[in-house]
Amino acid sequence: MKITTEKKEKKDDALVSGSTPVGYVRGVIGQIVQVTCDEVYRPRLRELLTVADDPYVRLEAHAYDENETLYCLLLSGADTITRHTRIVSTGQQITVPVGANVLGRVMDVYGEPIDGRGPIGGGLEQSIYTREKATLASQILRPSEVQETGIKTIDFFAPLLKGGKMALVGGAGVGKTVLQEEILRNVVYGGGGVSVFAGIGERIREGHALWQSLEEHEVLDRTALIFGHISQNAAVRFLTAATAATLVEYFRDYERLDVLFFVDNVFRFLQAGSELSTLLGEIPSEFGYQPTLQSEIAQFENRLYSTKNAFVTSVQTVYVPADEFGNPAVSATMPHMDAVVILSREMTHQGRYPAVDPFGSMSTALNPNTVGYEHYQTAIEAIEVLNRYKQLARIVSIVGEEELSPQNQKRYLRAKQMLNYMTQSFITTEMESGRKGVKSDLKEVVKDVRAILDGKLDNVPPEAFLYIGSLKDAGLLK
C-alpha cells in the first residue's frame, strides 16, 4: 500500500483559502503546540488549524490556558513546525468521507486513502465528532440475539450478542488479532451489512497482512479500514478511534446497514491519550494514566450502540501489558462489554488454539432466555467439569492419574476431551498451520459437548479431539 496525495492536495488548498489568523507558535513539547493568540479570533475546541504558508501541517485546538494561550495537538510530524510560526484556523473540524465509496478502501485519520488506489470519491464528508442526525433514546435497541462467530469456544462459553460488544483480552502473542480476523471473515463472509476495522497503534505489517487476507477471502469490498499505526504520533493514534466511529454511525443512521466493527487495539487508544495527558502536564491518576481515562473510553464506546433500524456489533482487542489484568486501562474497558473473552498464555504454551480461557471468559448472553435452556445447561455442566479438572490436575501432577478414583478418572478424561475439542483450525491461518480451517455450527457444538459430558466417548483418547470440526465430521459420533 502506498500513500496517495491527489485528494490531499485538493483538500488542503481548500483549507488555506478560507483560513482565519489565530496567532503564533510559542513552544513545542512533543505533540503539544503552545499557541499565543494575538488575533481577535479564538478557535473553538476541536477546530482544525494549520500553518499560514504550509497547509500540510495540521493541528487541532485542544485546550485553553487563560484567554491568550491555546494548547493544540500536532497531527503532523514534530519537525514540521517551529517557534514563531504563524497559525491560521480552517473554521472546521476534521472531516472524513463517508458512504459506500469507503468500502474496500484503506484510509488514515483524515479519511485520506493510503492504499494506492486513488482518491475516495462520492463527495460526502462528515465531522469525526459531531453528528447531524441525533438518535432518540426510544430508538436505541438492547441486543438480545446471539451472533454466531463460527468459533466453538467463543460461541459456547462466551457468545457474542448481535448488536453487542465483545472484548478479546490478553497479553502479547496469545492470538488476539488472529482471532479477530477469523471472526471478521466468518461473520462478514456469511452475512449481510458492512464492516469497519480500526487499527490503532498496531504495526504496519499487521495492517498490510489483514488487507491482503480480506482481499483473498473476498470480503474486502464490504469492509472499510482506518489505520493509525504505532509509528505515528500519539495525537493521530488517539483520533483514529473517532474517525472509525464516524463511519460506523453513518452506515447505521443514514444507510441503515448492520455494522460489524473491529478495533485493534483499545489499549493503544487509551495509551495514546495517556501520552498526550503527560505532555499537557495534567496530574495523572493511578499507575500514571490520564485523569480522563474513564470519560475517554466512555465517549468512544457510547457511540457504538444499536438502533431499531440497524445493529452495531463490536469486537475489540484489549492488550494487557505484562499480563497484568488489573491494569487501569483494561479495567476501564471491561464495564462497556457484553462479552469478555480472556486469552490464556498457559493455553498457548500447551499448544491449544484459540487460547480462550473458559474460566475467565464471560457473556451476558449465556442465560436460558437468550441461548436456550439446552445450551445454558450444557455450558454450566461443562464449566463445573472443567473446574473439577483444575483441582484434579494438581493431584495428577504429584501422584499420577491412576491414583484418582474411578469417578474422578472419568471427569478428568472428559475434561481433557472437552479442552481438546475446543481447539480449532482457522480459515485465515490455513497457510501457517497447514490445517484446513473450520467454521463450526453452534447447535453441533452444543450437541457434541453434551455427548462428551454424558460419557458417550469415554473410550476415545483425548488426543483424537484435537483440531477437529464436529464429532460427526471426525467420525467419532454417528
**Across 245-262, average pLDDT:** 93
Decide if 176 is catalytic.
yes
Instruction: Locate CATH 2.40.10.170 in the chain.
Output: 7-93
**CATH: 3.40.50.300, 3.20.20.60, 3.60.15.10, 3.40.50.150. Which one for 96-133+165-337?**
3.40.50.300
Over pLDDT 70: what percentage of the chain? 94
Cα separation, 210 vs 68, whole angstroms: 46
Out of 112, 202, 249, 296, which one is annotated catalytic? 202
227 neighbors 111 (Cβ within 8 angstroms): no
**Across 264-293, average pLDDT:** 89
Instruction: Give the architecture (CATH level 2) of 371-465.
Output: Orthogonal Bundle (1.10)
Instruction: Locate CATH 1.10.1140.10 in the chain.
Output: 371-465
Q: Is the pLDDT of residue 122 over 80?
A: no
Out of 7, 162, 165, 176, which one is annotated catalytic? 176
Out of 203, 256, 390, 436, which one is annotated catalytic? 203
CATH of domain 7-93: 2.40.10.170
Residues 124-150 pLDDT 10s: 889 998 665 566 666 788 888 999 999
460 neighbors 417 (Cβ within 8 angstroms): yes
**Across 211-229, average pLDDT:** 86
pLDDT of residue 421: 95
Q: Is the pLDDT of residue 217 over 50?
A: yes
Residues 430-444 pLDDT 10s: 888 888 989 999 999
Q: Is the pLDDT of residue 189 over 80?
A: no
Decide if 202 is catalytic.
yes
Around 197, how many Cα atoms within 13 Å sit in the side-chain half-sphere?
30
Decide if 394 is catalytic.
no
